[in-house]
Amino acid sequence: MVTIDIRQLVKKYGVQTALGIENLQIEPGTLTGIVGNNGAGKTTLLRLILDLIKPTKGEVCIEGQNVSGSEHWKSYTAGYLDEGFLIEFLNPDEYFRFVGKLHNMDADTVRKNLNPFIRFMGDELLDTKKYIRQLSTGNKQKVGIMAAMMVNPGLLVLDEPFNYLDPSSQIVIKRMLDSLGKARKTTMLVSSHNLNHLTDICGRVILLERGKIIKDLSPLRDDMGEVERYFALQAEG
């Protein structure tokens, strides 16, 4: 189980502050949802956690190690944020083997670890000669999510995993995330524009606005209507 500690974290682009979080701790083995409108800072936060961009100030620590100054956390961390994570001149099988190799998995182990996702993949992704670049946006999304989940990470980070997926696939992925959390006590961070998806599976939901945390709620304990009312007010302008 993996803990994340965020301290005095600021990301600026020029004079604009994209993210400003004083303190945030993600408890081990929890599934935390990040929700907010476009520009709220969701993707910026996830990119900082994965050390894909550098903070202007502050730090993200995974298991007590600053992600900017250590490598160990990468061995048990996986994520999918966008198509930039994919290698589009490979077919899905080649890509899965590539990702598996990064986590010291041989081809047989990769195939075995993909078995739980057969229903999610349908019959279009395994044993196909199609390159990833030839897949639909939804199928690309599936490849990225499965590659992240198949390595059985201690920390899983997903940005808008429900986008581009049909309703049946959205239900399946929610079940898979729930199962991963229960079976392996994986710490998970999942962002979404859709509050309903997050309240279905998350034990904690964090609402961002202009890079700030304005609500930190538990669907089991708190009135999630607060968040719905927030979005309703935003819609009214």
109: in domain: no
pTM of this structure? 0.92
- 128-141 pLDDT, tens per residue? 889 999 999 999 99
Can you give the pLDDT at residue 16? 93
The first and second tokens of residue 6, run together, are: 């965020």
The answer as to whether 138 is a domain residue is no
Q: Which residues pair with 216 in a beta bridge?
A: 206
Mean pLDDT across the stretch 93-114?
94
> Does 112 fall in a domain?
no
Q: How far apart are CA 139 and CA 69, in angstroms?
A: 35
- The pLDDT value recorded for residue 142 is 94
Reported as a single tens digit per residue, the pLDDT across 171-189 is 999 999 988 888 889 999 9
Q: Residue 34: which CATH number?
A: 3.40.50.300
In a domain, 161, yes or no: yes
Q: Count other C-beta atoms under 10 Å from residue 33's C-beta.
A: 25
Encode pLDDT of 18-75 as tens digits.
Answer: 999 999 999 999 999 999 988 899 999 999 999 999 999 999 999 999 999 899 999 9
Query: Which H/E stretch holds residue 206?
Result: strand 204-209
The band of 102, judged by pLDDT with boundaries at 50, 70 and 90, is very high
pLDDT at 235 over 70: no
**Contact present, 5 and 174 (Cβ < 8 Å):** no
The b/e string for 85-106 (b: 16+ C-beta within 10 A; e otherwise) is bbeeebbbbebbeebbeebebe
Residue 136 falls inside a structural domain: no
- Residues 114-119: contacts with CB within 8 Å, 24+ apart? 114/146, 114/150, 116/176, 116/179, 117/146, 117/149, 117/150, 117/176, 119/172
Distance of CA 234 to the CA centre of its chain: 25
Is 220 a member of any domain? yes
- Residue-averaged pLDDT of the chain: 91
Is residue 18 situated within a structural domain?
Answer: yes
> How many domains does the chain fold into?
1
Q: Write down the pLDDT at residue 179.
A: 86
Residue with tokens 């080649």: 94
What is the extent of the structural domain holding 57? 4-85+154-236
| pLDDT number for residue 234 | 65
Secondary structure of the chain: what % helix, strand, coil (to 5)?
Answer: 40, 25, 35
| Greater model confidence, 150 or 234 | 150
Average pLDDT score over residue span 208-227 = 83
Residue 106, domain member (yes or no): no
Q: How large a percentage of the chain has pLDDT more than 70?
A: 95
